[in-house]
Structure 1
Amino acid sequence: MLVCAKVMLVEDDLEWSRGLQKYFESEGGFKIVYCVDTKEACLSALKETPVDIILMDIILGDESSGLDATLDISHEYPNIKIIMLSSLDNDDDTFNEAFLNGAYDFVYKSEFEQVPGIIADAMVDRETKYGPRLKKLVYDKKKKLLNPYDILLLKLILEGKTQQEIADMSSVSLSAVKKHVNRVLGKFEWKRPTKELAEKCHKWGLLD
């Protein structure tokens, strides 16, 4: 018996969103039951609207918050399959991080006709060509960036400890902790708050 997948579309380009909905109206294997245009709206809708599949745009607004949303969703709702939609070409870092963040598959918007087939594969849990291998490759690469003290530092930051508290606990100077934090940030080329990196590393499984 053919199961009709419930799909949420996360897309901030309203014209593109309407176009996708129109194009997929006749598809029998799935139904777009919800459309939102931000990461926050997506996470809020999931609390009220169970879905099987999410079509997630990578660029939401001016940032790649689709990647962040994918990591949050895959961590909280591991049974939902997320298919990334992107207009970015030749961006290997984004492509690779999408899988590390838990994406089931990745489709360029210029090839959106592939989406029904990918949804059908997702509904029977068919393994994708690149997903598992890329996820392991990127995971291993990031895991090698961290030594045991880096992991301890990020765990303490994740717990909400201040740099002064970490210095006191470790019997080192505050300046030593600051330098260590900066080294960790540099390893990941991270420009955002340190706690956000700690949260990401936790969800990636790097702190286990």
Structure 2
Amino acid sequence: MSTPVRLLLCDDHAVVRAGLRALLSSAAGIEVVGEAGSGEEALAMAARVHPDVVLMDLQLGDGMDGVTATRHLTAGGEYAEVAPRVLVLTMFDTDADITRAIEAGATGYLLKAERPDELFAAIHSAASGRTALSAPVADRLLAQMRSPRPTLSDREHEILGQLARGLGNREIARALFISEATVKTHLGRIYGKLGVETRAGAVAVAKERRLLA
């Protein structure tokens, strides 16, 4: 009989952790060896129980977020002699969240809407070092690869940065020593390149696509 996958749960909601533990108790070949309610707690727990896989939420309330915890865990070192695999389990599927998690070293990225059997299979895949992605997440990653980031001019980047600070057209014009009419012209080009119609939409897309410094 094969050794079960040693799993550490990390979610800041105790009810969610209890539900996951109850669900996973019915899964063959998976043993929950610990629970953590924060990123810091996950690092400390991993050093003690040496999990094969950490099931990691991204939003963990105050303190260290799931991406930072993932980066520390997958680096090994002081937190684990052998770096565990990290499988993200979250409600969020924005391009920015997915990209940050994968770049931090996550082996997989699942949404909390997954069916139990898909979660079980993903845990086993992660333990074996295979990538596990929810279908919507895989679709978004492919879309990112097919649609490269829009190219903005230096001036458009400057104006976008001022937008993110919440400045109006007149304030942007003063800050950059240009006319309000020029600001409006650049905004129109920025909206067109980002596929948005509002200032808030431009800032949201810029953050999602990591266009802001």
TM-score (normalizing by structure 2): 0.57
- Matched residue type, 2:90: S
Which of the two has higher C-alpha Rg?
2
Q: Match for residue 2 of structure 1?
A: 2
From the superposition, tell whether residues 111 and 49 of structure 1 become closer, same or farther in structure 2 (CA, over 3 Å).
same
Q: Match for residue 109 of structure 1?
A: 112
Q: Match for residue 170 of structure 1?
A: none
SS of the residue 2:114 aligns to: helix
**1:7 and 1:55 in contact (8 A); partners too:** yes
- Within the candidate set 92, 96, 101, 1:98 is matched to 101
Distance in 1 (alpha carbons) for counterparts of 2:98 and 2:2: 31
Distance in 2 (alpha carbons) for counterparts of 1:189 and 1:57: 25
Q: Match for residue 83 of structure 1?
A: 87
- Matched residue type, 1:104: T
From the superposition, tell whether residues 64 and 112 of structure 1 become closer, same or farther in structure 2 (CA, over 3 Å).
farther
SS of the residue 1:111 aligns to: coil
- Matched residue type, 1:30: I
Q: Match for residue 164 of structure 1?
A: none
Distance in 2 (alpha carbons) for counterparts of 1:80 and 1:71: 11
Runs of at least 5 residues in structure 1 that lack an aligned partner in the other structure: 142-186, 191-208
- Within the candidate set 121, 125, 131, 1:121 is matched to 125
Query: What is the deviation of 1:126?
Result: 2.9
> What is the correspondence of 1:26-175 to structure 2 with a 5 Å cutoff?
26-61=26-61, 65-76=65-76, 77=80, 79-89=83-93, 91-111=94-114, 113=116, 114-128=118-132
Q: Match for residue 12 of structure 1?
A: 12
SS of the residue 1:88 aligns to: coil
- Matched residue type, 1:100: E
Q: Which digits, 9 at most, give the CA deviation of each residue in 1:121-140, with x for residues without a partner?
A: 22333344689xx6xx99xx
**1:58 and 1:64 in contact (8 A); partners too:** no
What is the percentage of aligned positions where both structures have the same residue? 23
- Matched residue type, 1:85: L
Q: Match for residue 199 of structure 1?
A: none
- Matched residue type, 1:84: V
Q: Match for residue 194 of structure 2?
A: none
Distance in 2 (alpha carbons) for counterparts of 1:24 and 1:47: 22
Distance in 2 (alpha carbons) for counterparts of 1:24 and 1:59: 21
Report the RMSD for the aligned CA atoms in angstroms: 2.8
Distance in 1 (alpha carbons) for counterparts of 2:34 and 2:58: 18
TM-score (normalizing by structure 1): 0.59
Q: Match for residue 202 of structure 2?
A: none
Runs of at least 5 residues in structure 2 that lack an aligned partner in the other structure: 149-209
- Matched residue type, 1:16: V
From the superposition, tell whether residues 110 and 63 of structure 1 become closer, same or farther in structure 2 (CA, over 3 Å).
farther
- Name the count of aligned residue pairs: 139
